[in-house]
Structure 1
Amino acid sequence: MIDYIKGTLIEIEPAYLVVDVNGIGYQLICANPYRFSTDLSLEVQIPTYHYVREDIQRLYGFKNKIERTLFEKLLGVSGIGPKGALAILASGEPEQVVSAIEAENDSLLTRYPGIGKKTARQIILDLKGKLEELSPSLLNPTNPTVEIDKKDNLQDALEALRSLGYVEKELKKVEKELKSETLETDQYIKRALALMLKT
């Protein structure tokens, strides 16, 4: 397994990052790539998960090892693939997901794209009581933000949410409220997810 990638972050796209390691660009698929905005052009060390199937190989990148562990746990649940696991991680708040699982709150889990009632119950059945190591106290603090164009930030955030599986109908419901706020791209994504999970 590839435990991490260490190199220069050279590109941020709605669904992935590109890290240059000695002249080779590694594409790391992420739940919310814009959380790495302050690291652009800097050396980074990103925990990874090497996903291998007969017809596909992909590298997934995470903000910290806690997120990667939750991703791995979710992949072990029947009916959950990488895309579904990333959609659950996109809010950047693993502790909320863990709390929902421990409280058997399947209604919150079904608000994520691709997670139906049956899959939510399966997540709870498979993972409840098995997530003790995912303590919120171990999570990395939020990176400081930098000033970038508000309009571009919002459009980038909406594109990232589309890549996670959210549909236009869901995005239109929150876009109006998001337009009234001035946030960084990663903050727009977290805010949109918070609004959608409440509805």
Structure 2
Amino acid sequence: MISHIHGKLVEKNPTDVVIDCNGVGYFLNISLHTYSQIPDQENLKLYTQLLVKEDSHTLYGFSSIAERDMFRLLISVSGIGAGTARTMLSSLTPKQVREGIAKEDVALIQSIKGIGVKTAQRVIIDLKDKVLKIYDIDEVSVSTSNTNKDEALSALEVLGFVKKQAERAVDKIVKAEPDASVETIIKQALKNL
């Protein structure tokens, strides 16, 4: 119903903001991740999700479409309400949540306040296929964070290579040589692409 709100930032708190849009002040609930992304300037645009319940209409604001999409996926899981989803996105970045689900990292999801083992498992079971499909993640490419790998991937993308092919090539190199430098990864990937 309301896709985004663009206006003057009137009030900024770690859990909510008020945006004045043509004389109307919109109260938006936000995550700590969004709070950290909000610049200290007057004009602000947040992507929104309106949740309508019998007794309330609640507006949630997000700094990126990716965060809003992750919020929508999370609230689609039975037992995960808007408050829990917001807590998840406050404790972890949308990318960390996405990777935790893709890697089936129950401990990571369970580390969030208010989420037990069964809820963490349900989140992973319900969302893993959707996350892999929506974000075009290969199960092979779901690996631990490696900054050299990430830098090499972004360099290859800048050079015009397709992300999925570049990831496959880089994953093979990193698997064989986990401590490879960015330059080494790029050089070897260029030979294989």
Question: What is the TM-score when the length of structure 2 is the normalising length?
Answer: 0.65
What is the alpha-carbon distance in structure 2 between the residues aligned to residue 36 and residue 98 of structure 1? 18
Are residue 64 (structure 1) and residue 61 (structure 2) matched?
A: no
3-state SS of paired residue (2:130): coil
Equivalent AA in structure 2 for residue 107 of structure 1: A
Deviation readout 1:140-183 (Å, 9 max, x if unpaired): xxxxxxxxxxxxxxxxxxxxxxxxxxxxxxxxxxxxxxxxxxxx
CA distance in 2, matches of 1:134, 1:93: 15
SS at match of 2:134: coil
After superposition, where does 1:123-142 map in structure 2 within 5 Å? 123-131=123-131, 132-134=133-135
In the other structure, the counterpart of 1:39 is 40
Match of 1:95 in 2: 95
Q: 2:72, 2:95 → 1: CA distance?
A: 15
Q: Does structure 1 residue 7 correspond to structure 2 residue 7?
A: yes
SS in 1 for 2:114: coil
Distance of aligned partners of 1:114 and 1:64 in 2 relative to their CA distance in 1, 3 Å threshold: same
Indicate how the Cα distance of structure 1 residues 35 and 89 shifts in structure 2: closer, same or farther if over 3 A, else same: same
Identity %: 39
Q: Which amino acid aligns with 1:35?
A: S
Distance 1:92 1:112 in 2: 8
| 1:134 positional shift | 4.0
CA distance in 2, matches of 1:120, 1:16: 26
Number of the residue aligned with 1:105: 105
Q: Is the 8 A contact 2:15 2:35 kept in 1?
A: no
Counterpart for residue 154 of structure 1: none
- Specify the code of the residue in structure 2 equivalent to 1:53: K
* TM-fit CA distance, 1:124: 0.7
String of CA shifts for 1:8-45, please: whole Å, max 9, x gaps: 011101310000011111011000253255234x2122
User: Does the 8 A contact of 1:95 with 1:135 survive in 2?
Assistant: no
* 3-state SS of 1:90 partner: helix
Give runs of ≥4 in structure 1 deviating > 4 Å.
Answer: none
Q: Which residue of 2 aligns with 1:73?
A: 73
* Number of matched pairs: 135
- Once structures 1 and 2 are overlaid, which stretch shifts more, 7-16 or 72-81? 7-16
Query: What are structure 2's unaligned runs of at least 5 residues?
Result: 138-193
Give the structure, 1 or 2, with the largest relative contact order (CA under 8 Å, sep 6 or more).
1
Per the alignment, in what secondary structure is the counterpart of residue 61 of structure 1? strand
Distance 1:65 1:135 in 2: 16
Does the 8 A contact of 1:31 with 1:90 survive in 2?
yes
- Structure with larger Rg: 2
Counterpart residue identity of residue 126, structure 1:
D
AA of the residue aligned to 1:16: D
- Following the alignment from structure 1 to structure 2, what is the Cα–Cα distance between the partners of residues 25 and 108? 37
Structure 2 residue identity aligned to 1:127: L
**Corresponding residue of 2:174:** none
Aligned amino acid, residue 11 of structure 2: E
